[in-house]
Amino acid sequence: MIIQRVVLNSRPGKNGVPVAENFRLEQSTIADTIQVGQVRVRTLYLSVDPYMRCQMNEDTGSDYLLPWQLSEVADGGGIGVVEESKHDNLAKGDFVTSFNWPWQTVAILDGSLLQKLIPQLVNGHLSYFLGAAGMTGLTALLGVREKGHVAVGANQTMVVSGAAGACGSLAGQIGRLEGCSRVVGIAGTDEKCSILVQEMGFDAAVNYKKGNVAEQLRELCPGGVDVYFDNVGGDISDTVISQMNQNSHIILCGQISQYNKDVPYPPPLPPDIEKIQKERNITRERFLVLNYMDKQEASILQLCQWIQEGKLKVRETVVEGLANIGAAFQSMMNGGNIGKQI
């Protein structure tokens, strides 16, 4: 059977900025028949995410991510429909997902590595299982619960950087649902800031490209910052940390501003900011959602419930066509979209 697939065409280099041309669309073939335990699936949705930048390097710098190989198919979170099955628990027409879905139109996969999806849990929005009800939502929810130390009635202020992104837009809403009394986002355009406040329930948002971020934060967080959901690192994070309270908490989710630089993860703080962190006893521990997979099922059900109840607002940017996934990746890395990129 002839299929289309996307392979890694070139590496941007550890300090390079990814471009669409790093990927290549090509024709390939898969077997016409499947073996016992396998299923043939047609791809419906693929997710592009910041962590994939590490997979473009020969060394990902991580013990849980494998590098993509040149001229080999890329992979990541995906959703598809079963077209043929020789696996006992999967039937034709079932919707399934995997964290290691190949970027190709049709694939033959081991049925035991797939998770069956129930569209009704997300009001029929299948793609949500790659975002708000998938790994992105899990990262936001577990990050807040495991590292944020949010307590109802504690009058805590949360700041979220990269707040208009897939994870940040959920994290701010979850912070509110879990008990934060004030949630402030940081984003890169007035449009994004407006959506955060008017649609997603943030109390306020700062456009870091306009005005003095430190002054705006002091005005919007007069009692200081108790919880910081950090998606970006760099100067923005240094500014937030300098305004954090004693015994406050950083949820170290991502450092996208540093992903095109050859630095360790998490990147070290500047000496003056590190001094503030230590003097104020601010926690800043690496957070990996994979370390909490025993809580996955209950957390997914919680996310689905909030979606069904309308308490969790979801934004997606959907790009049609496998040929455009390289451009979608480039746009995502440049922060060009609001919410999840699919």
Class of domain 135-290: alpha beta
96 close to 90: Cβ distance less than 8 angstroms: yes
239 close to 217: Cβ distance less than 8 angstroms: yes
Q: What is the pLDDT of residue 288?
A: 84
Domain residues of the chain, as ranges? 2-130+314-341, 135-290
> What does the DSSP 8-state code read for residue 127?
G
Tell me if residue 78 falls in helix, strand or coil. Answer: strand
Q: What is the pLDDT of residue 259?
A: 46
pLDDT tens by residue, 189-239 = 999 999 999 999 999 999 999 989 999 999 999 999 999 999 998 999 999
Looking up tokens 């430190």 gives: 214
Alpha carbon separation from 177 to 2, 154, 182, 293, 306 (Å, rounded): 48, 13, 11, 22, 9
**Rounded (5°) CA angle 163-169-174:** 120
* pLDDT higher than 90, residue 299: yes
CATH number of 2-130+314-341: 3.90.180.10
pLDDT tens by residue, 243-294 = 999 999 999 987 654 544 454 567 789 999 999 999 999 999 888 888 898 9
Q: What is the pLDDT of residue 333?
A: 80
pLDDT tens by residue, 153-179 = 999 999 999 999 889 999 999 999 999
Q: What is the pLDDT of residue 254?
A: 76
